[in-house]
């Protein structure tokens, strides 16, 4: 079984530029999560989807961050414009309904210069 | 506000010894607690889940305890090996849908 796929693995941009991350969850996993992990910290939830519906986006900075999961499968997280403080690892995870275990992708490491 | 604290210092132990990692929390009543392992450049990998009505859970060389009175979980790796070197994250969940709240992680280094 293929795991959670994320791309790109690394991204370096200048501040004020836009950036997008893509995630393809494990097949059959209806729940998709986007996390941000700062250096030396644990992951922090940004948004959670159940199929195509965002059921928890309370921690998403909506002035510059947006996300979509149009067909309830893969998802895109966008930042526009990026700020220096957005440098972090962006992790995607997925799970099936009622399953507490989350399966994480390798993450996208973002560096904003 | 909800707060989770793990061993702030990195843990260095000798191969063959038992590693014990601590996870303390406040202002939260989780239905379950999970432990994940994270290697550099990789995403977290699930290890164990323990529910609020369970005191202890074991899996091979791993053991987790959960004390809801003390608001603490202990994670033990017995007969530790250099391959166990990684960052270990505890995560609380169960009261807000599938949302997990992670601690900052403890870096474990096992020396041969």
Q: Does A85 touch chain B (CB under 8 A)?
A: no
Contact by Cβ (8 Å): B23, B5: yes
Q: Which two tokens stand for residue B79?
A: 């007969």
In angstroms, the CA A37 to CA A24 distance is: 19
Nearest to A77 by CA among A44, A26, A33, A17: A33
Which portions of chain B are predicted below pLDDT 70? 95-97
Task: DSSP for B10-52, please give it.
Answer: -EEEETTSPEEEEEEEES---SEEEEEEE-TTS--EEEEEEET
State the pLDDT confidence band at A37, using cuts at 50, 70 and 90. Answer: very high
Q: What was the pLDDT predicted at A97?
A: 79
User: Do residue A100 and residue B105 have CB atoms under 8 angstroms apart?
Assistant: no
Q: What was the pLDDT predicted at A83?
A: 97
Count of Cβ atoms closer than 10 Å to residue A42 Cβ: 22
Choosing among B4, B25, B44, B50, which should be mutated to test the A contact, i.e. which has the most A CBs within 10 A?
B44
Residue at token pair 């998709």: A32
How many angstroms separate the CA of residue A104 from the nearest CA in chain B? 5
From A4, A48, A91, residue closest to B98, measured CB to CB: A48
The residue of chain A nearest to residue B3, with distances taken between CA atoms, is: A42
Contact by Cβ (8 Å): B29, B92: no
User: Do residue A106 and residue B41 have CB atoms under 8 angstroms apart?
Assistant: yes
How many angstroms separate the CA of residue A92 from the nearest CA in chain B? 9
Q: Across residues A66-95, what is the average pLDDT?
A: 96
In angstroms, the CA B102 to CA A6 distance is: 21
Residue at token pair 């059959």: A28
Q: What was the pLDDT predicted at B35?
A: 98
Q: Does A94 touch chain B (CB under 8 A)?
A: no
């Amino acid at each position: 079984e293929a795991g959670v796929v994320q791309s790109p693995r690394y991204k370096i941009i200048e501040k004020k530029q836009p950036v997008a991350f893509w995630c393809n969850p494990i097949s059959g996993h209806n729940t998709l999560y986007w996390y941000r992990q700062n250096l030396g910290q644990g992951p922090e939830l940004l948004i959670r989807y159940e199929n195509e519906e965002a059921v928890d986006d309370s921690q998403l900075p909506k002035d510059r961050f947006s996300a979509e999961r149009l067909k309830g499968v893969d998802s895109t997280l966008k930042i526009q414009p990026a700020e220096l403080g957005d440098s972090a690892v962006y992790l995607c995870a997925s799970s099936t309904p009622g399953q507490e275990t989350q399966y994480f992708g390798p993450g996208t490491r973002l560096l904003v210069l | 506000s909800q707060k989770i604290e793990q061993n702030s210092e990195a843990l260095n132990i000798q191969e063959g010894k038992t590693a014990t990692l601590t996870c303390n929390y406040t202002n939260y009543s989780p239905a379950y607690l999970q432990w994940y392992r994270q290697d550099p450049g990789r995403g977290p990998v699930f290890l164990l889940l323990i529910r609020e009505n369970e005191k202890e859970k074991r899996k091979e060389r791993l053991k987790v305890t959960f004390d809801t009175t003390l608001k603490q979980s202990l994670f033990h790796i017995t007969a530790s090996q250099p391959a166990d070197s990684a960052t270990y994250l505890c995560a609380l969940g169960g009261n807000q849908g599938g949302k997990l709240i992670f601690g900052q992680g403890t870096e474990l280094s096992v020396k041969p």
